[in-house]
Chain A
């Protein structure tokens, strides 16, 4: 069976081999193992080429169950890679023909990756989402008052005004929540709102944010989210959090390349 090398993450603090090999990676693949590229280490897995070819992968990832399996396998590999210290996650299904190609690719980016590792060290990502406004009542206007045309329009006008104000209020609250949480973070970013199909709610998603927080401020940050969530629960807005995450959302190579380039030539 032909295999290719799938790379999960890069670290300078590799976890022990037995920890790696005992963690399942992608289905049908070999054990997780380490490759060395200078001072850096790659956490990799041999995966069947047939399952990870462009067409095969696109077909598989378009099936929700397969996508979930793949995402969770990738997450397992990334988490294991970070179990002994900071790791920089690579995109899901980063593939190389063989180990040598993988090592070469990482070595070529060593400076940038080191900058990124420093940036992520002892920091954790948290996901915070805000949904609102929650609908107070059904949107129909029938049977709520006098049954003449003018009254109907009056009621419709009042209802729309109330709904618009509720939306604006909820948005303002989401703004305020984001501003407040940024005070505890060293970096923050926003993801695009998740679709209703994924969130399972028809209440609009107003904020889908990620915060990079120093481990030393973790308790403060989590306590702040808790307070904001409790405050919000008294209004039409809902705050949810997930975490801790490996800093997936802050592992951008592009912004780091310039910095690293400058360092090398300083």
Chain B
């Protein structure tokens, strides 16, 4: 395995380029979508020309991708079976 250097800020030594069976090669889209669709800082106030109302998009994306948006509650009270 490509063991990352302890304490380094080197971002090129990444486990997900390595041969570990539990780590994918490259940026996995499914995990990327979890992150770009649901998170981030909302610096709103003057967001114009739309979309910054990201939840709107997420709702329609939900219909297509079946990934949950914050507006659609999961059947569990928290974020998963745990």
Contact with B along A216-246 (1 / 0, CB 8 A): 1011001101100100010000111111110
CA distance A58 to B52 in the complex (A): 11
In the assembled complex, which residues on chain B have CB atoms less than 8 Å from the CB atom of A129? 31
Complex: chain B residue closest to A91, CB-CB? B40
Chain A residues whose C-beta falls within 8 Å of the C-beta of B33 in the assembled complex:
67, 71, 198
Inter-chain CA distance A71–B33, complex, in Å, is 7
Which chain A residue shows the least CB distance to B28?
A242
- What residue of chain A has the Cβ atom nearest to residue B24's Cβ? A242
CA distance A67 to B65 in the complex (A): 10
**Proximity string of chain B (35-62) to chain A, C-beta cutoff 8 Å, 1 when within and 0 when not:** 1111111111111111111101100110
B39: min CB distance to chain A, Å: 5
Do residues B34 and A113 form an inter-chain contact, with CB atoms below 8 A? no
Question: Do A208 and B80 touch across chains, with their CB atoms under 8 A apart?
Answer: yes
- Residue pairs across A and B with CB atoms within 8 Å: the count is 220
Q: For residue B20, which residue of chain A has the nearest CB?
A: A226
Q: Which of B31, B38, B43, B48 contacts A97 (CB 8 A)?
A: B48
CB nearest to A112 among chain B residues: B41
Question: Which of B5, B49, B50 counts the most A-chain CB atoms under 10 A from its CB?
Answer: B49
Chain B binding surface SS class: loop
**A90-B23 contact in complex given A61-B61, A195-B66, A197-B66, C-beta closer than 8 Å:** no
Query: Out of B29, B34, B40, B49, which one reaches A208, CB within 8 Å?
Result: B34
Closest to A129 in B: B31
B35-A52 in contact (CB<8A): no
Shortest distance from the beta carbon of B25 to any chain A beta carbon, whole Å: 10
Given known pairs A191-B38, A239-B22, the reply for A199 and B30 (CB within 8 Å) is yes
| Bound complex: CA A238 to CA B23 (Å) | 11
- How many chain A residues touch B (CB < 8 A): the figure is 82
- Nearest CB in chain A: distance from B73 CB, A: 10
**Given A75-B36, A241-B15, does the pair A198, B22 have CB atoms closer than 8 Å?**
no
Contact of B34 among A194, A216, A223 (CB under 8 A): A194
Q: CB within 8 Å of A: which residues of B? A: 1, 3-9, 11, 14-16, 20-24, 27-54, 56-57, 60-61, 63-68, 74, 78-82
Interface, chain A (partner B; CB < 8 A): 4, 7, 10, 49, 52-54, 57-58, 61-62, 64, 67-68, 71-72, 74-75, 83, 88-97, 101, 104-106, 108-109, 113, 116, 122, 127, 129, 171, 174-175, 178, 189-195, 197-199, 204-208, 215-216, 218-219, 222-223, 225-226, 229, 233, 238-245, 248-249, 251-253
16 A-B pairs with CB atoms under 8 Å apart are: A7-B43, A53-B49, A72-B32, A89-B39, A93-B57, A97-B48, A101-B48, A127-B34, A171-B82, A194-B67, A218-B4, A222-B4, A225-B22, A226-B22, A244-B16, A253-B41
